[in-house]
């Protein structure tokens, strides 16, 4: 009986259809893992929150690792569908970049617990985890990579753009930027951050040196 925070447990129900019980446990696991983190969360916590008995969880998930993996892959699946749907409707590369940056920021803002879980646990190298979550992360970041590659093709981006590095700067930058927010400190202004990051991605921070093509708005000229 750890001094853990236990939330109002759902009353146990009997004989649910398999799929429904599965979803219930998954949802409970998401809450518990997000709130406590992987290590601190216990299977007992999950079972209780799901209104199920401990051993029963193992009928649906063969181990704790698989359970987190499913929670995370679930999130990725949902996110992937959403991105798929939205991104195809955005014509310009620039707008697509803007959308993807903002989308990731929104994810961090709206599901900080889950994102912290992903960021922390994704880098584990656990085989069980990799097997399940594996490609999903790649497919997720692929949206940005593809957008950048298209930008190169269309000429909106320099031909020598180091696409993967730029992608890393975007995702890594967003996650770093949100670190304080994830830690419960401060807020996260999605739109401002997205605008600034997009600008940095496109023009960098260096002063444009040419005479003929003066830089930004604040040019005294």
Query: What is the spatial distance between Cα 49 and Cα 204, in angstroms, rounded to a whole number?
Result: 48
Stretch of 9-17, 20-28, 70-78, 121-129 contacting a copy of itself, by CB under 8 A = 121-129
Q: Is the CB of 64 or the CB of 79 nearer to DNA?
A: 64
Residues 135-154 that bind a copy of itself (CB under 8 A): 148, 151
Query: What is the spatial distance between Cα 36 and Cα 41, in angstroms, rounded to a whole number?
Result: 5
Q: Which of 111, 124, 142, 149 binds a copy of itself (CB under 8 A)?
A: 124
Q: Which helix (H) or strand (E) holds 58?
A: helix 54-60
Q: Is 24 in the site for a copy of itself (CB under 8 A)?
A: no
Would you call 68 helix, strand, or coil by DSSP? helix
Q: If you search the block for the tokens 């992903």, which residue do you land on?
A: 118
Contact of residue 176 among DNA, a copy of itself, none (CB under 5-8 Å per partner type): a copy of itself
72 contact partners, CB below 8 Å, separation of at least 6: 114, 117, 118, 121, 122, 129, 132, 133, 136
Q: Is 4 in the site for a copy of itself (CB under 8 A)?
A: yes
Contact of residue 12 among DNA, a copy of itself, none (CB under 5-8 Å per partner type): DNA
Residues that bind DNA (CB under 7 A): 1-4, 6-18, 21, 40-44, 52-56, 58-59, 62-65
């Amino acid at each position: 009986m750890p001094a853990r925070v236990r939330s109002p447990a759902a009353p146990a129900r009997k004989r649910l259809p398999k799929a429904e019980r599965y979803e219930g446990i998954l949802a409970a696991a998401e809450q518990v893992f997000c709130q406590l983190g992987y290590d601190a969360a216990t299977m007992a916590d999950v079972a209780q929150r799901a209104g199920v008995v401990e051993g029963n969880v193992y009928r649906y998930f063969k181990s704790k690792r698989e359970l987190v993996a499913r929670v995370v892959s679930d999130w990725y699946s949902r996110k992937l569908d959403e991105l798929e749907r939205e991104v195809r409707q955005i014509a310009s590369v620039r707008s697509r970049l803007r959308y993807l940056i903002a989308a990731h920021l929104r994810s961090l803002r709206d599901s900080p617990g889950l994102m912290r879980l992903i960021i922390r646990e994704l880098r584990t190298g656990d085989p069980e985890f990799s097997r399940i979550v594996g490609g999903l992360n790649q497919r997720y970041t692929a949206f940005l990579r593809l957008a950048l590659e298209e930008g190169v093709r269309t000429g909106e981006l320099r031909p020598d753009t180091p696409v993967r590095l730029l992608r890393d700067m975007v995702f890594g930058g967003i996650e770093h930027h949100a670190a304080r927010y994830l830690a419960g400190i401060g807020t996260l202004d999605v739109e401002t951050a997205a605008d600034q990051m997009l600008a940095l991605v496109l023009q960098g921070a260096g002063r444009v040196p040419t005479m003929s093509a003066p830089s930004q708005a604040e040019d005294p000229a």
